[in-house]
Amino acid sequence: SVTNLTKPNRKKFVWGPPQRGAFLQLKQLLINQPLFLQFPHDDYPIILTTDASKIGLGGTLQQVINGETKNLHYHFQITSVIERRYDPIELEALTIWACFRRMRSYLLGRSIIIYTDHCPLCNMMNKSVKNRRVDRISMLLQEYNIEKIIHIKGQHNCLADYLSRNPIQSEPEEIFEEDYGISTLFNGEPPVLASVSVDTHPVIGAVVTRSMKKQSFQQTTELDKSSSSIEKEIDSSSLEQIKKSSSHSPITLDTCNQFDIKQIKLEQAKDFIIRKKVKEFQQNPIRGSFVLHDGLLYKLMPMNLRSITKLKLIYILSSMVNSLLKAYHSDPLGGHFGIRRTYYKLKNKYWWPTMNQSIAQFIKSCLPCQQYNVSRLKKPGLLCPIETTAGPFQLVCIDYCGPFKRTPRENQYFFMHY
């Protein structure tokens, strides 16, 4: 009733009682069995069905109660570059372990039956399968009550196979977890003071209250209305106008992580590369990865590898990178996080060329980090010098290494002596 718009010879769309009934029926299907997830029942065993592919891992958690299948949970994740090099048996075992880690609260203390389309894994809990990764996973699964592992044909393992071949790109882990006690206080990120100057150190502000935030929003609206656009060719007159608008006290803004937008506009207007990119955007606004909004140049970046939606990231000049990294890393509320977490704090707000290299170089040159982040790895040992002998055959050394891949002559080890 409601699919006539998707047909090649579609007619004029009509919305009547049949279409409304089909729409309500679709809504009911989405919130009822079998799509609606259920809570597990302690009197029945839990069935875990898994499958793996080179691009992802997938698993479903179900229960059969009075002949009716109840869906409890779905899990899917994208495999890493290293995991794609695993053998099939290792990938299938990794899928089981990934599902157990994700569904631990469902599985712990309950009887479990595992269905897999990889037959060699059926005896992984009873004896070694001659694979180190699989053996380690079987040892990690000893705390669970696994009744048996049953082989299922691939043609009957459709749901887990679909999840493994169509995984969704997951978001990166949260920077401030609840264990740190920071996310609830600062709404996921410590506030940084408004003004970022190239010559002076940035200052950290206090917690922003509701009244301050409301006042900040009003000031931001007034600023956006009064600020001159640099969509036209930037010349000396427009630069003077930006300078005049930037002579006031700094304003705390939430839209740019509480940095002064007018200062960023002023620095962008001075830069030759920015002015060149603005001209390119004006000549061809459709193509390109930059956009001009309220007199500020943004970089368009996709949210993830498969996403069509793009984020607008403020283009930061090289002259402001050092001050920005000081505010996000070196200041008291910056936390002195590592390279990866500092990058995650900045990646959804700012962009500049060689962003990863700049962050890595700045953190590696941070003096407090080098002083207090002491490596806990054991230092490599020293070789013991061998004294020179006075005559032949007074010292004989023998060693071997292996096993290696078998040669055509069925050799696996190297034997050395001198």
Cα gap 179→177, rounded to integer Å: 5
Cα gap 267→233, rounded to integer Å: 16
From 220, 246, 315, select the one nearest 275 (Cα to Cα): 315
Q: Are 192 and 258 in contact (CB under 8 A)?
A: yes
DSSP states along 154-219:
GGG-HHHHHHHHSPPPPPPPPSS-GGGT-HHHHTTS----S---SSS---------HHHHHHHHHH
Res 373: pLDDT? 81
From 250, 242, 245, select the one nearest 194 (Cα to Cα): 250
Dihedral sign, Cα of residue 176, residue 180, residue 182, residue 184 = positive
Task: Extract the runs of DSSP E, i.e. beta strands, from 246-315.
Answer: 290-293, 296-302, 310-315
From 199, 104, 91, select the one nearest 144 (Cα to Cα): 104
Cα gap 254→216, rounded to integer Å: 8
Mean pLDDT of 117-134: 90
CB atoms within 10 A of CB 217: 13
Secondary structure of residue 302 in the 3-state scheme: strand
Is residue 306 scored above 60 in pLDDT?
yes
**Max mean pLDDT range (39-43, 89-93, 322-326, 403-407):** 89-93
Give residue-wise pLDDT tens across range 370-387: 888 877 777 777 777 778
Q: Of 7 and 236, which is predicted with more confidence?
A: 7
**Max mean pLDDT range (34-43, 258-267, 285-294):** 34-43
Q: Of 345 and 12, which is predicted with more confidence?
A: 345
The domains spanning 46-165 and 178-372 adopt the same CATH topology = no
pLDDT tier for residue 347 given thresholds of 50, 70 and 90: confident
Q: What is the mean pLDDT of the chain?
A: 76
Q: Of 399 and 386, which is predicted with more confidence?
A: 399
Amino acid occupying residue 39: F
Q: Where are the domains of the chain?
A: 1-31, 46-165, 178-372
Give residue-wise pLDDT tens across range 28-39: 888 877 777 888
Tokens matching residue 365: 């040159």
Tokens matching residue 268: 């962008």
**In the CATH scheme, what architecture does the domain 46-165 have?**
2-Layer Sandwich (3.30)
Res 192: pLDDT? 38
pLDDT tier for residue 212 given thresholds of 50, 70 and 90: low
- Residue 278 backbone phi and psi in degrees, to 5: -65, -40
From 7, 4, 6, 27, select the one nearest 16 (Cα to Cα): 4
Cα gap 295→241, rounded to integer Å: 12
Is residue 15 scored above 70 in pLDDT?
yes
Give residue-wise pLDDT tens across range 268-291: 877 777 778 777 777 776 666 788
* Residue for token pair 């002083």: 371
Which class would CATH give 178-372? Answer: mainly alpha
Q: Return the percentage of the chain with pLDDT > 70, whole number.
A: 73
Is residue 5 scored above 50 in pLDDT?
yes
Mean pLDDT of 354-363: 91
Cα gap 204→181, rounded to integer Å: 19
